[in-house]
Amino acid sequence: MTDQEIVAKINSSLAEEFEYDLAAMTPETTLFEDMGLDSLDVVDLVIVLETAFSMKVREEEAIRKIRTLGDIHDFVIAKKRQLEGDR
Amino acid sequence: MSYDYAVIGAGVSGITCALTLARSGYKVALVERAPRTAPLLRGFSRHGVHFDTGFHYTGGLGPGEPLELFLRYLGVADRIESFSFDEKGFDLFRCDDPAFEFGFPVGFANLREQLLGSFPGERQAIDQYLDQVGAACRAMPYLNLDAELSQESLLQRVIGPSLREVLDRLTGNELLKSLLSVHSLLYGVSSREVPFALHAAIAGSYYQSVRGIRGGGLSLARAFDARLAELGVQVLCSREATAIELGTGGAVTGVRLADGELIPCSTAIATVHPQLLLDLVPEGAFRPVYRKRLASLEETVSAVLCFATCDAPLPALSGSNRFYVPDAGAVNELGGRPVGQGALYLSAAYRNGDPVPAGFIGICPALFSDAAAWQSRRGERPSGYAGYKEEALERLTAQITRAYPELSGRISSIEASTPLTVRDYCATPLGGLYGVKHMVGQYNPQPATRVPGLFLSGQAVASPGVMGAVLSGLVTCGTLLGHDRIRKELKECC
């Protein structure tokens, strides 16, 4: 998967599961202010990412620092690379 | 009449929510589909013998222990009389292959000694297991009122490790692992799936103390009823909730009942199975991801149960349950074997007011799919079901009398229930004995939802069993009124 494909998959998954406008999603989009997510949604966010990329992300310290869509892109890309490196 | 809170479901968690909110001065309505509150807790009677269906014995009910404290806080502790189970063997475990018997004594120190007697070469594993169980119990918020309540403590269950992972690290002795996993029958999740933290909280409370209630779950249900009346909770039985109504701003405005009446309220607490909640709220109220999450929650194992009366008293069953497994692997296969070939649990049943058991209840984990062919509405089972049920009862009875020959020839009446019965009485879509599983990798719902004024409670939220249901009610009320406030009020009852 290329970085662009990962970004596209993250955006489309989140748009569908959180009912957000795909066209309005940029790396600067903030999850809490722009997308209207709150602390309750964090678990669902983790579930969406785990399902979309068939990986476990719940143990990650980094997930708590995520503020923008770009942070999610960077996090998943790094995680994918790490998993590929482990193989 | 408008209410501050409408609670859907008068099971133990719904009653706990109603009592907690009412004692704080709120106006509360409690809505229940069944003709009376807490139907599962009440059980039923046959030939003068009372059979408990929702409560058989519990940990944490000794003086000063968590459940006793919770019941005191709710104002029902003085209305029930509890009694101690056999301190030398509250649960008698028996395995046929290899032939092995073990009586679980009350108290961590006694248990350690007893385990060392049976497994002298496993000292390190036994010590570490018991230490870890004790530590996990102390870390449980609410069970320990000083334990930190954090997102991490909640996520610990999802992350694991599982009970099996912990045991595998400690020992290679399959019989010991099987013995220490046997209480998985009390929460309906196999050792491979159950988070060690949850197993420890439940099993650990039994290691500490084991008690029953005189008159069984029915006495507790009556005590709850008296307290609900005392606090002025409006109890609406035989009234099924069919919808949670939302206003134009998306916030809860009331609970709609099957007869069309609206119970106006600013906050609704749903204690129903999370999958059934989806039918109560408008389609767009939850995000797709949350709907999917609730819809895909796995359910605990179902069971075939039997209820027997005996022609002579059964003093051996007094204050002492039986756990039987044909072989060491059976404990790990909850429901994975045909009825009559897997693990088995027996508990005493009493004639009204008599301290010596006059019958017994047998529980054998079973898969819902075994009975699914005869699915239909309650009371309208299709033909063929009777034959299936009879065969299941015959197999279960044969296993019981083979495992416990002393019961052979003493049974004067015996009846069965199937996974379909469990589905209808526990209101769990797939007949789960303990509702939704608590398992590693599964995110169970939290009390708060994104619908303003809609909160969840019930076994799915905190833990299974009477203790788990009370706990989930308190956790939900903690979310509503502030955890510090509830914990402070609980401490004042200490």
CATH number, domain at A54? 1.10.1200.10
B53 neighbors B32 (Cβ within 8 angstroms): no
Is B287 in Cβ contact with A44 (below 8 Å)? yes
Residue B146 has pLDDT above 80, yes or no: yes
CA nearest neighbour of B324 among B349, B350, B360: B360
**Which residue has better confidence, A40 or B176?**
B176
> Lowest mean pLDDT: which of B99-113, B212-226, B368-382?
B368-382
Is B287 in Cβ contact with A18 (below 8 Å)? yes
pTM score: 0.94
pLDDT, residue B382, reads 83
**Residues making up chain A, counted from first to last:** 87
Tell whether B295 is within 8 A of chain A (Cβ): no
Tell whether A41 is within 8 A of chain B (Cβ): yes
Q: Which amino acid is at B375?
A: Q
Rounded Cα distance between B14 and B271, Å, is 6
Rounded Cα distance between B448 and B441, Å, is 20
Q: pLDDT for B290-323, tens place per residue?
A: 999 999 999 999 999 999 999 999 999 999 999 9
Q: pLDDT for B61-108, tens place per residue?
A: 999 999 999 999 999 999 999 999 999 999 999 999 999 999 999 999
Which residues of chain B have a CB within 8 Å of the CB of A43? 443, 446
Locate the chain B residue with the closest alpha carbon to A61.
Answer: B152
pLDDT, residue A40, reads 81
Residue B6 has pLDDT above 70, yes or no: yes
> Nearest C-alpha of chain B: how many angstroms from A63?
13
Residue A68 CB contacts under 8 Å (≥ 6 apart), including other chains: A27, A28, A29, A30, A31
Note if the bond before B161 is cis, omega within 30 degrees: yes
Is A18 in Cβ contact with B289 (below 8 Å)? yes
Q: What percent of chain B has pLDDT over 90?
A: 87
Rounded Cα distance between B271 and B5, Å, is 13
Locate the chain A residue with the closest alpha carbon to B447.
Answer: A40
Is B293 in Cβ contact with A41 (below 8 Å)? no
Please give the torsion angle defined by the CA atoms of residues B43, B46, B50 and B56, in that order, rounded to the nearest 10 degrees: -60
Which residues of chain A have a CB within 8 Å of the CB of B448? 40
pLDDT, residue B474, reads 96
Is A47 in Cβ contact with B293 (below 8 Å)? yes
Which of A35, A42, A44 to mutate to probe the B interface, most B CBs <10 Å?
A44
Which residues of chain B have a CB within 8 Å of the CB of A60? none
Q: pLDDT for B9-62, tens place per residue?
A: 999 999 999 999 999 999 999 999 999 999 999 999 999 999 999 999 999 999
Tell whether A44 is within 8 A of chain B (Cβ): yes
Tell whether B449 is within 8 A of chain A (Cβ): yes
Give B369-373's long-range contacts (Cβ < 8 A, gap of 24+). Answer: B370/B339, B370/B419, B371/B302, B371/B418, B371/B419, B371/B420, B371/B431, B372/B419
Q: What number of H helices and E strands is found in chain A?
A: 3, 0
pLDDT, residue B415, reads 96
The pLDDT confidence band at residue B380, using thresholds 50, 70 and 90, is confident
Domain count, chain A: 1
> Lowest mean pLDDT: which of B183-192, B368-377, B427-436?
B368-377
pLDDT, residue B155, reads 67
The pLDDT confidence band at residue A67, using thresholds 50, 70 and 90, is very high
Query: DSSP class of residue A69?
Result: H
Tell whether A17 is within 8 A of chain B (Cβ): yes
Who among A16, A44, A58 is closest to B158 (CB)? A58
Who among A17, A19, A40 is closest to B448 (CB)? A40
Query: DSSP class of residue B1?
Result: -
Rounded Cα distance between B20 and B147, Å, is 21
Mean pLDDT over all residues of chain B? 94
**Beta-bridge partners for B361:** B307, B347
Tokens of B347: 């508990």
Give the burial class of B429: count Cβ atoms within 10 A of its Cβ; 0-12 exposed, 13-18 middle, 19 or more buried: middle
Tell whether A60 is within 8 A of chain B (Cβ): no
Q: What percent of chain A has pLDDT over 90?
A: 54
Locate the chain A residue with the closest alpha carbon to B448.
Answer: A40
The pLDDT confidence band at residue B152, using thresholds 50, 70 and 90, is low
Query: DSSP class of residue B260?
Result: S
Rounded Cα distance between B445 and B460, Å, is 7
Q: pLDDT for B108-130, tens place per residue?
A: 999 999 999 999 999 999 999 99
Residues of chain B numbered 123-182 and touching chain A (CB < 8 Å) = 155, 158-159
pLDDT, residue B157, reads 80
Who among B288, B292, B443 is closest to A43 (CB)? B443
Rounded Cα distance between B215 and B223, Å, is 11
Is B289 in Cβ contact with A44 (below 8 Å)? yes
Q: pLDDT for A27-66, tens place per residue?
A: 999 998 999 888 788 889 988 998 899 888 766 677 778 8
Query: DSSP class of residue B450?
Result: S
Tell whether A58 is within 8 A of chain B (Cβ): yes
Q: Which amino acid is at B332?
A: N
- Tell me the residue range of the domain where A52 lies: 3-86
Tokens of A54: 């068939």
Is B159 in Cβ contact with A44 (below 8 Å)? no
Is B159 in Cβ contact with A47 (below 8 Å)? no
Q: Is the dihedral of CA B227, B233, B239, B244 positive or negative?
A: negative
Tell whether A16 is within 8 A of chain B (Cβ): yes
CATH number of the structural domain B3-44+59-81+214-297+438-492 = 3.50.50.60
